[in-house]
Amino acid sequence: MEDSALCRASKAVKCVVAPAVKCLVARVRRHCGYVIFSDRRVCKLNVEVKKLGHKKDEVQRSIDDARNNMKPIKATGETWVEEVETVANKARNVLDYDGRAQKTCFYGWLPNPKVRYLLGKKASKMVQNIQKLMVQNIQELIAQGQVEEVDSENPPPGLVGGALYVNSLAGDEGDFITDSRASIFQGIMKALNDEKVKVVGVYGPGGVGKTTLLKIVEEKLNKEGKLNKEGTPFHMIVKSKVSQTPDLTKIQFDIAYALGLKDLKDEPSEEGRRDLLFKRLQMDPSEKVLIILDDLWAELDLKAIGIPLGNESMKCKLLLASRDKRVLEQRMHADQTFRLKSLEEDEAFKLFEKIVGDRLRDDEELKEKAAQVVTKLAGLPLLINSVASTLKYSDVSTWEDMLIKIEDPHNERIVKWSYDHLESEEAKCLFLLCGLIGGTIEVELLLGLGMGLGLFGKFDNNMQSLRNILNTMLNRLHSFCLLHDGGDGKENVTIHDLYSEVVVSDVFSGRNSLMINNNYVNVGSGRLAELILRRFPHVKILMLSEQYDRGDCSKMDFTYMEELRALYLCSMRITSLPSSMEILRNLQSLSINCYVEDVANLGKLKALQILSFAKSRISRLPKEIGELTNLRSLNLNHCYSLKIIEPGALKALINLEELHMRGSFDRWMGKHEMTSKSCGVGLAELKSLTKLASLEISIRQPIILLEDDDLPFENLVRFWINIGNLEGWGYERLAVMKLNLEGCNNILSRNWVQKSLQKTQYLYLCELSESKESAHKLCTEGFQDLKALNVKDSCSINYIANSPYGLPPFLNLESLFLENLINLEKICHGPIALGCFGNLKTMSIGQCHQLKYLRCISDMQRLVKLEEIKVWECYSMQSIVTHDAGEDIVSADNRVELPNVCRLALCESPNMTSFCIRAEITSEDTPAPI
């Protein structure tokens, strides 16, 4: 009995003591761990702080975007950001303490247990706090409706200093800001700096350079970022061109685009857009906004647009340009105006002389004629540029012809003289067409109209040939300074309003002019009813723009327009296209940029070759579109509402050469999703498009590319391909590939992908986990045209260039962005061919923790064009440059000279000790025994 009682007592003690001992051991182990593993815990804390920072930035950008779009922001989202900032600051203090702490004692022989204990304990606690915050991450906040998901890499276009690339006007500024204009430029800048001045105006005749002056002011503000006494810059700069017939809707969209006010496009009424803009511009009393309005002809109703006036204007300022001083002072109530005069005679001659070039240097007779020519150009830079460009390569007889025909300064005669020297009748016709449209014109629009007028020859040319012909003609007009780029490369061109006025004047009343005018009707609000009552049996081009009774196109009657070749509908609400459209059997180009629902009857237009729904609100592409078997170009770019493409809509378009779907439908179906009742389109339909030469497409699920045989895209000339729905990195030009291939790296071996990679200029790669160790080996034939490379989150990449044999890599590369390549060891491995990276201008390397240096000295000497270096969160990085093993580090030949580097940013790379160090000699560097 006693033994039994003793046994029970012993067990009872064990039941009590064992958990206590276990708890005590765990506690001791935890506290010992603070000392032993303090470095590991600090490293873990550093990683968690970075993750938390990225999440915080995402949420903050979402909150900012919601503010810009006047959406209510719930307290949870902002509270979360504040909590994150508090925790992050405490964590940074711990990390700072780690850097300052003396973690050894006894002259470095033993670890300091007290310091390590406190550090390890604090780091562990901070990691727990951060992980607790991370539980409620950005996705959960979005799901709860606290914030909305946004494109986090593209700030509002109007944000001062927010644009990554700014079109520099530095070359023009030196020519434009002459001695006589310097005081005007400085006066404008001073007026904008004056808090009492709300409206600043610039006036002067057409062609004198008002638009150029506004651009220079805008660029100056963007560059400096500071203007007033407090040192606070304009936060936003927005601009719009008003023109002789103001389009309030266009002006509203221009301002909303710059402000990042995306919701404006969903507001159908002008009044609703007005209220949204007004509220946005008054949202933040501390936000300073400069609104630039160019080319005012009469009073503009700012209130109807949504621009606050007077005391309501808060921190908004207006910078206006007009030909008429009275418009600025009496109608727009400008506080201060500046008159932009014609160039002084010597300034005009210097500009003319610079354009013509060396021909005037040694030829006194020609220089005398030049002086006479300049006198007739009235000091207008626009006309000086045009005439000088025409005469630059002309013989003396052409100069004399100009002096004879232009007896006195006369804009119409001068423009007509430049027009006559275009030689090509097609180029003349294109110039007149641009003049009739006016302003900034999309090149795609000119292509469709030009086809309708037969400007590009026979239709047996492929679309790329037609584009080449158009570009040649546009280049001709550019070389005569009759057209200018629209500000975004070759997508738009701009014709000066002075030229537009001349085109519609009596000077151009000849046969060609009448032909264009008789075949072109541009209908604005209020003229649609008149057009319906009249008959235009010979009209070739019809453009319906703005709104009529809120723009119901179903009232339009095309019965008497059998010869119509090109039809453009813009800013109209279309429930169903009128049945009379079926009579347009000769229609070759159709563009619908509207609120549109049913477009099924377009299948009747068998002659149609170009069809564009770009930026329209179409939600369904019907199967009847497949009946357009002669269609050569289909544009569905930025059709954000397009959710359904019916089966058969694309498969039968066997003559299609261009398919553009950027920012549009991306939910292609795979084989396993296709059923007899399916209402979606399978990627397999694209197999029949064997003539495609231009493709813009997004494919959300890359895995479906592995289900079918190779697609027939190996002959692509122009392309923008996004596989895996990669956002950001917004290169808009063609020859772009964005590939997020998580788990689908085999796609890279497809023939059409390899053919496209050879031609790619802008490449973004993400999630390469089982691929080549060297980035340049991803393309078997080499990246011959690549200009920008972005590789992110790819653990398989050990090197960017590794080419001891084969094609030299990256000869044309200008920008290199590398992020989170955890196994990247070197940028270049092994001997690199001459010229590799020779055109590189920008390097940005981040979170590449194995990388010890960027380049060895022999490679670095080739980077003479390098302008910018950025290194961040590369914890193993020791230097930018290393000497090759065995090189003499003090040799004069081993100096690194980077004459064009203007920006060097080194962030959070704690082991970087110098710009250049000697390389470690490894086994592979050791010479083999002889």
Tell me the β-bridge partners of 856.
882
| 548 has pLDDT over 60 | no
All residues at 6 or more sequence positions from 568 whose CB lies less than 8 Å from its CB, including other chains? 445, 448, 542, 543, 544, 545, 590, 591, 593
Higher pLDDT, 761 or 551: 761
Task: Please determine whether the domains at 180-339 and 422-514 fall in the same fold group of CATH.
Answer: no
To which H or E segment does residue 213 belong?
A: helix 210-224
Q: For residue 652, name the pLDDT band (cuts at 50, 70, 90).
A: very high
- Give me the pLDDT at residue 300, please: 93
Residue 567 reports pLDDT greater than 70? yes
Kindly tell me if the per-residue pLDDT of 161 is higher than 70.
Answer: no
Mean pLDDT of 9-38: 52
Averaged pLDDT, 681-703? 90
pLDDT of residue 747: 86
pLDDT of residue 804: 59
Please give the pLDDT value at position 762: 92
Q: Where does the pLDDT of residue 296 fall: very low under 50, low under 70, confident under 90, or very high at 90 and above?
A: very high
> How would residue 438 be classed by pLDDT, with cut points 50, 70 and 90?
confident
Backbone angles phi, psi at 513, to 5 degrees: -65, -45
Dihedral, CA of residue 47, residue 49, residue 53 and residue 56, to nearest 10: 120
In the prediction, which pLDDT does 119 show? 66
Answer CATH for 180-339 from 3.20.20.10, 3.40.50.300, 3.40.720.10, 2.60.40.1180: 3.40.50.300
Higher pLDDT, 32 or 405: 405
Q: Is the pLDDT of residue 623 over 90?
A: yes
At 891 the pLDDT is 44
| Average confidence (pLDDT) over 295-320 | 88
Q: Which tokens in the block code for residue 527?
A: 């003229």
Say which residue, 359 or 585, is predicted with more confidence: 585
Cβ proximity of 319 and 349 under 8 Å: no
- Tell me which residue of 572, 600, 604 sits closest to 586, measured CA to CA: 604
Share of the chain above pLDDT 90, in %: 20
**Amino acid symbol at 812:** N
User: How would residue 150 be classed by pLDDT, with cut points 50, 70 and 90?
Assistant: very low
In this structure, whether the domain defined by 422-514 belongs to CATH 1.10.10 is answered with yes
In which region does residue 729 sit, left (phi positive, over 0), alpha (psi from -120 to 50) or beta (all else)? left
Which pLDDT value is given to residue 916? 75
DSSP 310-352: GGGGTTEEEEEEES-HHIIIIIS--SEEEE-PPPPHHHHHHHH
Number of CB atoms found within 10 A of residue 179's CB: 9
Return the higher-pLDDT residue of 38 and 108. Answer: 38
Per-residue pLDDT band for 630 (boundaries 50, 70, 90) equals very high
790 against 135, higher pLDDT: 790
| Long-range contact pairs involving 260-267 (C-beta distance under 8 Å, separation at least 24) | 260/65, 260/68, 260/69, 260/155, 260/156, 260/157, 260/158, 260/159, 261/68, 261/69, 261/70, 262/65, 262/68, 262/69, 263/69, 263/70, 263/71
CA-wise closest residue to 241 among 166, 175, 287, 300: 300
Q: Contact at 8 Å (CB) between 894 and 869? A: no
Q: Hey, which bits of 380-481 come out as E strands?
A: 439-442
Average pLDDT of the chain, as a whole number: 77
Q: What is the mean pLDDT of residues 682-690?
A: 89
DSSP conformation letters of 725-758? --------SSSEEEEE-TT-GGGGGSHHHHHHHH
> Of 731 and 616, which is predicted with more confidence?
616
Predicted confidence band at 546 (pLDDT cuts at 50, 70, 90)? low
**CA distances (Å), origin 437, targets 500, 708, 721:** 8, 46, 33
Q: List pLDDT tens digits, range 865-908.
A: 888 888 888 888 888 877 655 444 444 455 667 778 888 888 88
Tell me, what's the pLDDT at 888? 43
* Mean per-residue pLDDT, 11-27: 52
Q: Is 502 helix (H, G, I), strand (E, B) or coil?
A: helix
Q: Is the model more confident about 725 or about 870?
A: 870
Amino acid at 571: S
Confidence of residue 479 (pLDDT cuts 50, 70, 90): confident
Between CA 774 and CA 793 the distance in angstroms is 14
Beta strands (DSSP E) in 32-125 are: 104-105, 110-111
Q: Could you tell me the sign of the dihedral formed by the alpha carbons of 142, 148, 150, 156, in that order?
A: negative
User: Cα–Cα distances in Å, from 545 out to 70, 571, 828, 851?
Assistant: 29, 6, 56, 57
Range of lowest pLDDT (141-145, 449-453, 504-508, 758-762): 141-145
Main-chain dihedrals φ then ψ at residue 239, nearest 5 degrees: -150, 155
What pLDDT does residue 689 have? 93
Read off the pLDDT band of 924 (50, 70, 90): very low
Confidence band of 673 (pLDDT split at 50, 70, 90):
confident
Average pLDDT over residues 579-589: 90
List pLDDT tens digits, range 457-472. Answer: 765 678 888 888 999 9
Q: Where are the domains of the chain?
A: 1-144, 180-339, 349-409, 422-514, 726-921
At the topology level, CATH places domain 726-921 in 3.80.10
pLDDT at 796 over 60: yes
The Cα 494–Cα 490 span in angstroms is: 11
Token output for 79: 């509270």
pLDDT tens figures, 524-545: 444 544 555 455 667 788 887 6
* Percent of the chain residues topping a pLDDT of 70: 71
Residue 437 above 80 pLDDT?
yes
Burial class (CB in 10 A: 0-12, 13-18, 19+), 686: buried
What's the CA gap between 444 and 593, in Å, rounded? 13
Range with the poorest average pLDDT among 125-134, 514-523, 821-830, 896-905: 514-523
pLDDT at 414: 87
399-409 pLDDT tens trace? 988 888 887 77
Does the pLDDT at position 152 exceed 50? no
Is pLDDT of 715 > 70?
yes
Average pLDDT (659-682) is: 79
Distance (Å, whole) CA 926 – CA 781: 32
In the DSSP assignment, the letter for residue 139 is H
Q: Which helix (H) or strand (E) holds 221?
A: helix 210-224
pTM to 2 decimal places: 0.73
Tokens of 348: 């005009």
Confidence band, pLDDT 50/70/90 cuts, at residue 170: very low
831-846 pLDDT tens trace: 777 778 888 888 899 9
At residue 696's C-alpha, the angle toward residues 692 and 701, to 5°, is 110
Q: What average pLDDT does this structure show over 347-369?
A: 86
What region does 838 belong to: left with phi over 0, alpha with psi -120 to 50, or beta? alpha
